[in-house]
């Protein structure tokens, strides 16, 4: 399964030099640049409080940055026209569903707002995800409510789907099914899907692009398989490391000082790099990447 499309199209969302502080609060986004392209499934990773929700809200034009620009399909994210708005789907961290409605009523209500609506997909997902159509939403479990929000956001076949921690209350089978659905969105229609998560094991199932958020910026974004293939941890003296990095044409991502003038350098190698023998080098896994890059 390969969600890698030739990225020749213009970006679905683009943020340039975006800085955002909350009143009397810290600066959460610090000159952040980010591009999301059609055909990408992007997992946004960052520690608690790193600013993932703030970033996704800013990307959607729900928060106005103090500096920088945000565009959605080439339009100012703060002033999108109706056609552009209809191309976007959003599942917030906490969805306010109308608790007295039934799922069938809720979906009929939302359907009236969108020019496009895939009833067959909605029907299929309601059945597969075991959601009663005619039971009041307040009687659904947390996970069922979350699935319903996801169905609502998938139903109008958005070209850009933004989900904030969408799998938090889903069980492992639900998460697998959900991820499959996301990937088929991308493969079928070349949509862009971005979602924040803490559950690293889910990301290993699909060749997602991973975006690591740290220090108010996107520190690194690349497909997971490429990262596992190309990122290595090297250990040696500071001088040895400088020589080695230059020789390999490697991009240092994180340096950690060790005792006695030694350091550990996490670095991304060019695709064709040949490692010299006698160098202390370790492969890294997704847990290591998360620990070191966020």
Q: Minimum Å distance from CB 200 to ligand ATP?
A: 13
Among 3, 39, 46, 103, indicate the residue that binds ligand ATP (CB under 6 A): 46
Among 7, 10, 17, 22, indicate the residue that binds ligand ATP (CB under 6 A): 22
Integer Cα distance of 135 and 158 in angstroms: 27
Of the pair 84, 197, the CB lying nearest ligand ATP is at 197
Among 1, 6, 8, 25, indicate the residue that binds ligand ATP (CB under 6 A): 25
Of the pair 58, 144, the CB lying nearest ligand ATP is at 58
Q: Minimum Å distance from CB 41 to ligand ATP?
A: 19
Among 3, 11, 51, 92, indicate the residue that binds ligand ATP (CB under 6 A): 51
- For position 48 contacting ligand ATP by CB under 6 A, the verdict is yes
- For position 29 contacting ligand ATP by CB under 6 A, the verdict is no
Residue 173 near residue 184, CB atoms below 8 Å: no
Residues of this chain, 124-183, that bind ligand ATP according to CB under 6 A? none
Q: Which stretch in 46-54, 104-112, 133-141, 281-289 sits in contact with ligand ATP by CB under 6 A? A: 46-54
Among 4, 17, 27, 49, indicate the residue that binds ligand ATP (CB under 6 A): 49
Among 39, 52, 106, 178, indicate the residue that binds ligand ATP (CB under 6 A): 52
DSSP labels, the chain: ------TTSPPSEEEEEEEEE-TTS-EEEEEEEEEE-TT-EEEEE--TTSSHHHHHHHHTTSS--SEEEEEETTEETTS--HHHHTTEEEE-SS----TTS-HHHHHHHHHTT-S---HHHHHHHHHHTT--TTS-GGGS-HHHHHHHHHHHHHHT--SEEEEESTTTT--HHHHHHHHHHHHHHHHHH--EEEEE-S-HHHHTTTT-EEEEEETTEEEEEEEHHHHHHHEEEEEEEHHHHHHHHHHHT-EEEEEEE-STTEEEEEEEPPTT--PPTT-EEEE--HHHHHHHH-
Among 12, 40, 53, 146, indicate the residue that binds ligand ATP (CB under 6 A): 53
- For position 28 contacting ligand ATP by CB under 6 A, the verdict is yes
Of the pair 20, 248, the CB lying nearest ligand ATP is at 20
Of the pair 22, 109, the CB lying nearest ligand ATP is at 22
Of the pair 44, 193, the CB lying nearest ligand ATP is at 44
Residue 51 near residue 217, CB atoms below 8 Å: no
Binding-site ranges for ligand ATP (CB under 6 A): 22, 25-26, 28, 46, 48-54
């Amino acid at each position: 399964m390969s969600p890698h499309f030739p990225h020749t199209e213009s970006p679905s969302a683009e943020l340039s030099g975006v800085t955002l502080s909350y009143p009397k609060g810290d600066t959460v986004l610090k000159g952040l640049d980010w591009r999301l392209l059609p055909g990408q499934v992007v997992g946004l990773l960052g520690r608690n409080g790193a600013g993932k929700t703030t970033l996704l809200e800013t990307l959607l034009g729900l928060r106005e940055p103090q500096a920088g620009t945000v565009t959605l399909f080439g339009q100012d994210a703060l002033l999108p026209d109706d056609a552009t708005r209809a191309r976007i789907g959003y599942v917030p961290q906490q969805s306010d569903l109308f608790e007295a409605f039934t799922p069938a009523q809720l979906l009929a209500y939302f359907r009236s707002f969108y020019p496009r609506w895939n009833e067959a997909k909605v029907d299929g997902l309601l059945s597969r995800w075991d959601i009663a159509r005619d039971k009041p939403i307040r009687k659904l479990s947390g996970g069922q409510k979350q699935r319903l929000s996801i169905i609502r956001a998938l139903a109008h076949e958005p070209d850009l789907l933004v989900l904030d921690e969408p799998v938090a209350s889903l069980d492992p089978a639900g998460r697998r099914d959900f991820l499959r659905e996301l990937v088929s969105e991308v493969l079928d229609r070349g949509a862009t899907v971005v979602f924040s998560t803490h559950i690293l094991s889910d990301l290993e199932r699909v060749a997602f692009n991973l975006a690591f958020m740290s220090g108010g910026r996107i520190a690194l974004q690349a497909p997971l398989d490429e990262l596992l293939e190309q990122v290595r941890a090297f250990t040696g003296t500071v001088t040895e490391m400088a020589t080695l990095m230059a020789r390999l044409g490697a991009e240092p991502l994180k340096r950690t000082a060790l005792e006695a003038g030694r350091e550990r350098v996490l670095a991304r190698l060019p695709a064709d790099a040949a490692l010299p023998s006698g160098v202390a080098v370790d492969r890294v896994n997704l847990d290591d990447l998360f620990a070191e890059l966020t």
